[in-house]
A and B are shown apart, each in its own frame.
Chain A
């Protein structure tokens, strides 16, 4: 699978969100991570984002511990019900305009089904703007997710096809 050069054009679906986010956040985005019961491997990958190799600071992204200073909530974990209070309070405490990015297979509904202990997917608790699959998503995938949120990168998965034999007559 060859990977094309990535450009920074604004575009794709949800252009309204992209345009709005781009105008509001520009190139300075403050991220607050919320762990709703993950195994912490996603957190390890998130932590690597600040390392010199990936260095999200050069792109204008910063981590902040206080939701009051955050523009973006990065949520991991399968939304364990015991963490409802935590997630909802953090969501409420983050001033508008804000975005939520759900990171990892757990947060997207895989691995743990909905039952008495977990919601299963983060978007059952708070509205999610961008989903980043992976277990864990590598820091490159996380960076792509962040740039998709602020509209600096185009989404790639919409036009992705997993059928290798498509185009051949069946």
Chain B
């Protein structure tokens, strides 16, 4: 009895662990976009960057820069992307490093030897 009391006082109040699996209904939650880099063209990326209301997308040279911190999951880019942009389904995005939220995707759809499609 004293052992459990001591352990609880030392370790704090928690009674259970965090659930090991996520519920199935979370699959439909709003999430940032994921990109098929082979189908991205510079023109398309410029259009997406212009359309994003939160300013999460930008084009730097041959890279699409996505700031996950800015993304609101509205889905405008998915609608405009014509298959090149899909919801990623990722929503567990917490981090202590702000720079880790900035992701870069190479724009590969411009080259002549693209796989197409």
Asked whether any CB of A lies within 8 Å of a CB of B in the complex, the reply is yes
Which residues does A use to contact B, with CB under 8 Å? 1, 3, 5-6, 8, 13-14, 17, 25-28, 57-60, 105, 108-111, 113, 123, 128-135, 137-138, 140-141, 143-145, 147-149, 152-153, 155-158, 160-166, 168, 170
Main secondary structure of the interface of A (DSSP, over half): loop
Known: A27-B12, A110-B70, A160-B103. A144 touches B94 (CB 8 A): yes
Main secondary structure of the interface of B (DSSP, over half): loop
CB pair B105 A163 closer than 8 Å: yes
Number of interface residues of B (CB under 8 A): 57
CB pair A105 B72 closer than 8 Å: yes
11 CB contacts below 8 A, A to B, read: A3-B22, A6-B20, A58-B15, A130-B95, A134-B30, A138-B29, A138-B91, A140-B22, A144-B92, A149-B96, A166-B37
Min distance, Cβ B53 to any Cβ of chain A, angstroms: 8
Closest A residue by C-beta to B34: A162
CB pair B95 A163 closer than 8 Å: no
CB pair B96 A60 closer than 8 Å: no
In Å, the complex CA distance between A162 and B34 comes to 5
A-B contact number at CB 8 A: 177
Known: A28-B13, A108-B69, A160-B103. A155 touches B54 (CB 8 A): no
CB pair A163 B37 closer than 8 Å: yes
In Å, the complex CA distance between A123 and B25 comes to 33
Min distance, Cβ B8 to any Cβ of chain A, angstroms: 9
Does B43 touch A at the CB level, under 8 Å? no
A residues within 8 A CB of B56? 110
Which residues does B use to contact A, with CB under 8 Å? 10-18, 20-22, 26, 29-30, 32-39, 53-56, 66-74, 86, 88-98, 100-101, 103, 105-106, 108, 111, 114-115
Min distance, Cβ B30 to any Cβ of chain A, angstroms: 7
CB pair A108 B17 closer than 8 Å: no
Known: A5-B21, A105-B54. A162 touches B66 (CB 8 A): yes
Which residue of B29, B74, B106 is within 8 Å of A163 (Cβ)?
B106
B residues within 8 A CB of A28? 12-14
CB pair A14 B89 closer than 8 Å: no
CB pair A134 B73 closer than 8 Å: yes
Min distance, Cβ B100 to any Cβ of chain A, angstroms: 5
Min distance, Cβ A151 to any Cβ of chain B, angstroms: 10
Min distance, Cβ A16 to any Cβ of chain B, angstroms: 11
Q: Which of B17, B21, B70 has the most CB of A within 10 A?
A: B70
